[in-house]
Amino acid sequence: MARIAVEMPRLGYDMETGKIAGWLKQVGDRVERGQVIAEIETDKSTVDMEATASGTLIEIVHGVGAEVAVGQPIGYLEDGA
What are 36-81's pLDDT values in tens digits? 999 999 888 999 999 999 999 999 999 999 999 999 999 999 997 5
Strands (E), the chain: 3-7, 17-23, 30-31, 36-41, 46-50, 55-60, 67-69, 73-78
The whole-number pLDDT of residue 81 equals 55
Residue-wise pLDDT for 1-43, tens only, equals 799 999 999 988 889 999 999 999 999 999 999 999 999 998 8
Which pLDDT value is given to residue 3?
A: 95
- Confidence (pTM): 0.91
Fold of 3-78: OB fold (Dihydrolipoamide Acetyltransferase, E2P) (2.40.50)
**Residues 78 and 4: beta-carbon distance below 8 Å:** yes
